[in-house]
């Protein structure tokens, strides 16, 4: 699929030109830590999660989940396959328990002291921060948030995106719909609907939770690279025992 409008609106690293995929919103993969058990300065980078000092303190969801596959795909690109696998084995050695549940479960486990640190997508945190439930407020009060790798490549991001099938029966309408998703109004709907950031540069959203988290430097690794490394990422997790 070709669209001049989408290529002008969506940053180059947030589109896969070869396969016709475009990101319409982004979310960050942040480090969450228990403020009573772990110091923020000890978990400033994803690589820190593999350090022996965190033995028995790391919680995670399954290594087969797309969020973790995407992060591993990025680490492969930045560190190379061997070092990425070494990292995965180090994190597995630091597990407080076997991987289970979703990102919200990891956050709550950190807050409860079941583990000291975990990785989560930012919008799960934003949901808890915007919740009026007393239990959710207690969770937020017990944890701290780190934007990883700010002195290096930046914090890994995942996307919500879309494309068009080659067999699409209404190609013209499909392209128009995707172009609409890149408009200012649709970007706000897309981002606000799930506490994310617009993919289009310059579109502003008012979200108290995201504002409270502050600004950060995102990793600008092309999403096409992440897709190409996904299969290898799964093999590495399997070899490391990250089930």
- pLDDT tens digit string along 79-137? 999 999 999 999 999 999 999 999 999 999 999 999 999 999 999 999 999 999 999 99
What's the pLDDT tens digit per position in 129-185? 999 999 999 999 999 999 999 999 999 999 999 999 989 999 999 999 999 999 999
> Cβ distance 95 to 89 under 8 Å?
no
Q: Which helix (H) or strand (E) holds 127?
A: helix 122-130
**Bridge partners (DSSP) listed for residue 160:** 25
What CA dihedral angle connects 163, 169, 171 and 173, to 10 degrees? -100
Report the alpha-carbon distance of residue 243 to residue 238 in Å, rounded: 7
Q: How far apart are CA 242 and CA 136, in angstroms?
A: 28
Domains and CATH numbers, the chain: 1-243 (3.40.190.10)
Cα(101)–Cα(106) distance, integer angstroms = 7
Percent of the chain, pLDDT > 70? 100
DSSP element (H, E) containing 227:
helix 223-240
Per DSSP, the three-state class of 59 is: strand
């Amino acid at each position: 699929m070709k669209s001049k409008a989408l290529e002008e609106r969506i940053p180059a690293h947030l589109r896969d030109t070869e396969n016709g995929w475009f990101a319409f919103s982004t979310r960050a993969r942040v480090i969450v830590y228990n403020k009573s058990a772990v110091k923020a300065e000890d978990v400033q980078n994803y690589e820190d999660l593999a350090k022996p000092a965190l033995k028995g303190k790391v919680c995670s969801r399954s290594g087969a989940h797309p969020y973790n596959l995407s992060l591993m795909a990025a680490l492969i690109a930045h560190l190379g396959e061997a070092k990425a696998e070494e990292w995965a084995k180090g994190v597995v050695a630091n597990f407080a328990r076997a991987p289970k549940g979703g990102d919200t479960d990891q956050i709550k486990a950190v807050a409860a002291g079941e583990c000291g640190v975990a990785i989560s997508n930012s919008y799960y945190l934003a949901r808890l921060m915007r919740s009026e439930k007393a239990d959710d407020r207690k969770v937020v009060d017990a944890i701290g948030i780190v934007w990883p790798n700010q002195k290096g490549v930046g914090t890994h991001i995942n996307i919500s995106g879309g494309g068009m099938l080659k067999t699409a029966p209404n190609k013209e309408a499909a392209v128009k719909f995707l172009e609409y998703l890149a408009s200012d109004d649709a970007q706000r709907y897309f981002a606000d609907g799930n506490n994310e950031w617009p993919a289009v540069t310059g579109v502003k959203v008012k979200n108290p939770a995201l504002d409270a988290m502050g600004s950060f430097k995102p990793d600008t690794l092309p999403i096409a690279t992440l897709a190409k490394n996904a299969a290898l990422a799964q093999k590495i997790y399997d070899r490391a025992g990250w089930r």
